[in-house]
């Protein structure tokens, strides 16, 4: 029997996409959401974690790039698993809590024009209409634990057609 080298072994392991987003609230406890220009719907600030970048570093970088806010030490509040769905590979999604934005901080938001068309703050009812179902479920789970200091784990379940 031929043994794999460590390099061969690691090259053969599965690859998962990793995303990282940051949940911000305003003083009315509404959630900051953004509208991407490259796809339909709304999301929270964040994006794909680059190769050799940690999820928290990706969240901090994406927040600065997308909305122009510099944050330090956001708190992890959710890890979500999203299974394969059509052409989309499976993914891990990390959501960090960026805190409550006051009027001064909100005035400093500067959208990355190449990727985002607008932003707004939304309550729970609006989130259900504007976010995709899996993200909405993760965000609602986050809202439940923001004040507790807990972190939640959430698995998205897709209804895939049977072929």
161 pLDDT exceeds 70?
no
**8-state DSSP, 122:** E
pTM for this one?
Answer: 0.90
Residues 43-73: tens digit of each pLDDT = 999 999 999 999 999 999 999 999 999 999 9
Distance of CA 140 to the CA centre of its chain: 13
Domains (ranges, CATH) in the chain?
A: 15-155 (3.90.79.10)
Comparing C-alpha atoms, which of 11, 15, 151, 157 is closest to residue 74?
151
């Amino acid at each position: 029997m031929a043994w794999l080298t460590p390099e061969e072994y690691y090259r053969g392991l599965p690859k998962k996409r990793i995303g990282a987003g940051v949940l911000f609230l305003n003083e009315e406890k509404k959630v900051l959401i953004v509208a991407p220009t490259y796809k339909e719907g709304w999301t929270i600030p964040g994006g794909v974690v680059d190769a050799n970048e940690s999820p928290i570093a990706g969240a901090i970088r994406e927040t600065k790039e997308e909305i122009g806010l510099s944050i330090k030490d956001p708190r992890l509040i959710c890890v979500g698993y999203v299974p394969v769905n059509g052409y989309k590979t499976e993914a891990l999604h990390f959501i960090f809590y960026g805190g409550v934005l006051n009027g001064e901080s909100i005035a400093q938001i500067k959208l990355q024009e190449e990727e985002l068309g607008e932003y707004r703050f939304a309550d729970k009812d609006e989130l259900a209409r504007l976010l995709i179902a899996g993200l909405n479920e993760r965000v609602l789970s986050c809202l439940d634990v923001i004040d507790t200091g807990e972190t939640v784990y959430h698995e998205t379940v897709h209804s895939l057609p049977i072929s």
